[in-house]
Amino acid sequence: MNTKTVARLRDVSKHYLLGSVQVTALSALNLEVKAGAFTFVTGPSGSGKTTALNLLGAIDKPSQGSVDMLGQRFDELSDTQLTDFRCRHIAYIFQNFNLIPVLNVYENVEYPLHLMGLPKAARQERVTDVLDAVGLYDRAQHKPNELSGGQRQRVAIARALVKQPTVVLADEPTANLDSQTSRDVTALMQQMQRKFNTTFVFSSHDPDLIAMADEVYHLVDGQLTDIKRQEVPQ
Ligand SMILES: Nc1ncnc2c1ncn2[C@@H]1O[C@H](COP(=O)(O)OP(=O)(O)OP(=O)(O)O)[C@@H](O)[C@H]1O
Ligand SMILES: [Mg+2]
The residue-averaged pLDDT of 156-182 equals 93
At residue 165 the predicted structure's pLDDT band, cuts being 50, 70 and 90, is very high
Which ligand has an atom closest to residue 223 CA? 1
pLDDT of residue 184: 87
pLDDT of residue 172: 94
**Cα–ligand 1 centroid distance for 230 (angstroms):** 28
pTM of the predicted protein model: 0.93
The residue-averaged pLDDT of 54-66 equals 97
Which ligand has an atom closest to residue 44 CA? 1
Among 54-63, 102-111, 163-172, 192-201, the range scoring the smallest mean pLDDT is: 192-201
Q: What is the DSSP string of 106-165?
A: HHHHHHHHHHTT--HHHHHHHHHHHHHHTT-GGGTT--GGGS-HHHHHHHHHHHHHTT--
- Atom 16 of ligand 1, nearest CA residue: 48
The residue-averaged pLDDT of 39-64 equals 96
**Cα–ligand 2 centroid distance for 140 (angstroms):** 30
- Atom 7 of ligand 1, nearest CA residue: 16
Whether 96 lines ligand 1, by a CB cut-off of 6 Å, is no
Question: Using one digit for the tens of pLDDT, what is the confidence trace for 8-27?
Answer: 999 999 999 999 999 999 99
The residue-averaged pLDDT of 186-192 equals 88
pLDDT of residue 98: 95
Whether 25 lines ligand 1, by a CB cut-off of 6 Å, is yes
pLDDT of residue 166: 93
The neighbour count for residue 68, using CB atoms within 10 Å, is: 17
Ordered by where they begin, the domains of the chain are: 5-229 (3.40.50.300)
Please choose from 51, 55, 209 the residue to mutate so as to test ligand 1's pocket, defined by most ligand atoms within 8 A of CB.
51
- pLDDT of 100 over the 80 cut: yes
pLDDT of residue 197: 87
Question: Using one digit for the tens of pLDDT, what is the confidence trace for 65-83?
Answer: 999 999 999 999 999 999 9
Q: What is the DSSP string of 34-79?
A: ETT-EEEEE-STTSSHHHHHHHHTTSS--SEEEEEETTEEGGGS-H
Whether 54 lines ligand 1, by a CB cut-off of 6 Å, is no
For the CA of 219, the closest atom of ligand 1 is 21
Q: What is the dihedral of CA 218, 155, 104, 92, to 10 degrees?
A: 30
Whether 95 lines ligand 1, by a CB cut-off of 6 Å, is no
At residue 232 the predicted structure's pLDDT band, cuts being 50, 70 and 90, is low
Residues 6+ apart with CB under 8 A from 43: 49, 218, 219, 220, 225
Closest to 57 measured CA to CA, from 193, 202, 197:
202
Question: Using one digit for the tens of pLDDT, what is the confidence trace for 124-140?
Answer: 999 999 999 999 999 99
**Cα–ligand 1 centroid distance for 170 (angstroms):** 16
pLDDT of residue 46: 94
Residues 6+ apart with CB under 8 A from 68: 7, 8, 10, 74
Closest to 209 measured CA to CA, from 96, 42, 63:
42
Residues 6+ apart with CB under 8 A from 98: 92, 156
**Whole-angstrom Cα distance, residue 43 to residue 18?**
22
At residue 55 the predicted structure's pLDDT band, cuts being 50, 70 and 90, is very high
Whether 46 lines ligand 1, by a CB cut-off of 6 Å, is yes
